[in-house]
């Protein structure tokens, strides 16, 4: 079957956002008199959002009374530093050019809220090239619910059955599968040692973005 649209998760698949998120978390830790954490500690948590990153940094859950303010501080610092070190993963710009040359549409489906997704995509100069950008608050649902992926296919004007979703977390693969797309695991993303991608029931795995072209 011909793939007419390739959709990407944002953090850990399309863009390497971990360095700027690492900086923001360490700024919040310093503000509260805590020692910084290493990049290696935070990288596997990035795909799982601010809750996971704050758990790594502060050892707290969302029901902790301190959580809400810490999250606000963390995201405010991140917004002001959203594209200092962040850039597309090596191979993504070339992949996007090749997709566009083949008239294959592409887009983003992320759980990141739009007030963070949109400025980041603008800073990466990719916002006008994407056929669909679906954030965590674009629909009433977030991944692993399939609705964000379905909505992205609708925006791109493509049948989910002729689409491919690429992500680095099990929720990405679940969302794509239940939306009816083909799915690929981005092994170059923010997987942890505890992840078992072979059990995620994806259609394939890639170790570099340009391998997607071979898969297509």
- Residues with catalytic roles: 9, 11
Burial (Cβ within 10 Å: 0-12, 13-18, ≥19) of residue 84: exposed
Tokens 């902790």 locate to 64
User: Residue 103: left (phi > 0), alpha (psi -120 to 50), or beta?
Assistant: left
The DSSP code sequence of 75-105 is HHHHHHTTTSS-EEPTTHHHHHHHHHHTT-E
- Give which of 26, 62, 28 is closest to 41, Cα–Cα: 26
Residues 6+ apart with CB under 8 A from 39: 18, 19, 22
The pair phi, psi for residue 109, each rounded to 5°, is: -130, 110
Structure tokens given for 189: 């993303």
């Amino acid at each position: 079957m011909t793939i007419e649209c390739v959709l990407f998760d944002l953090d850990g698949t399309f863009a390497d956002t971990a360095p700027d998120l690492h900086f923001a978390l360490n700024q919040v830790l310093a503000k509260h008199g805590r020692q910084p954490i290493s990049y290696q500690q935070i990288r596997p948590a990035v795909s799982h959002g601010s809750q996971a990153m704050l758990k790594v940094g502060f050892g707290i859950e969302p029901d902790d009374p301190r959580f809400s303010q810490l999250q606000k501080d963390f995201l405010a610092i991140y917004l002001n530093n959203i594209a200092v070190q962040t850039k597309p993963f090596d191979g993504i710009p070339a992949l996007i050019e090749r997709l566009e040359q083949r008239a294959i549409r592409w887009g983003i489906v992320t759980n990141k809220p739009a007030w963070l997704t949109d400025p980041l995509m603008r800073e990466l100069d990719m916002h006008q090239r994407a056929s669909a950008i679906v954030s965590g608050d674009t629909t009433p649902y977030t991944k692993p619910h399939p609705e964000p992926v379905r909505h992205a296919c609708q925006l791109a004007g493509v049948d989910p059955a002729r689409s491919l979703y690429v992500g680095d977390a099990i929720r990405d693969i679940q969302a794509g599968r239940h939306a009816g797309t083909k799915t690929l695991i981005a092994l170059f993303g923010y997987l942890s040692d505890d992840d078992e991608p072979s059990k995620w029931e994806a259609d394939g795995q890639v170790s570099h973005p340009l391998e997607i072209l071979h898969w297509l």
